[in-house]
């Protein structure tokens, strides 16, 4: 996806502060953090939205959760983080490459 900002980060075409990378997954700090710890965990495969995940993606999406937990532990928020996927523009999705927000270290300021 040449016009996808997260694919460009994966390709190294635009910079990001990376926490973790392997052949399937990349984690990097959110450029506009909403809490003391706020990073994104993405698959290297371009999947636009959560609703576009299919059965062959099950292992990959499970891995997102596991890597997110590992990075949360390494950054001291294993007892205080939320994992959020926005799906669709109406729900606030701005970047249409699947990503899990890990937002932690702030207690629970959200109503939901």
The Cα–Cα gap between 24 and 43 comes to: 6
Query: According to the binding rule CB under 6 A, does residue 94 interact with ligand AMP?
Result: yes
Check residue 51 for interaction with ligand AMP (CB under 6 A): no
Residue 66 Cβ vs Zn ion, minimum distance, rounded to whole Å:
21
Under a CB-based contact definition with an 8 Å cutoff, are residues 81 and 72 in contact? yes
* 75 binds ligand AMP, rule: CB under 6 A: no
Task: Tell which positions 7-36 bind ligand AMP, by CB under 6 A.
Answer: 16, 28, 30-32
Q: Provide, rounded to whole angstroms, the least separation between the CB of residue 17 and ligand AMP.
A: 8
Is 21 exposed, middle or buried (CB count within 10 Å of its CB: 0-12, 13-18, 19+)? middle
Site residues (vs ligand AMP, CB under 6 A): 5, 16, 28, 30-32, 86, 92-95
């Amino acid at each position: 996806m040449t016009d996808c900002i997260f694919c460009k980060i994966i390709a190294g075409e635009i910079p990001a502060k990376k926490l973790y990378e392997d052949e399937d997954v990349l984690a990097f700090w959110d450029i506009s953090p909403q809490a003391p710890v706020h990073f994104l965990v993405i698959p290297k495969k371009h999947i636009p939205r959560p609703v576009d995940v299919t059965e062959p993606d099950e292992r990959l999406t499970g891995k997102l959760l596991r890597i997110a937990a590992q990075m949360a532990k390494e950054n001291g928020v294993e007892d205080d983080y939320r994992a959020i996927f926005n799906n669709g523009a109406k729900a606030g999705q701005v970047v249409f490459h699947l990503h899990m927000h890990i937002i932690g270290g702030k207690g629970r300021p959200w109503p939901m």
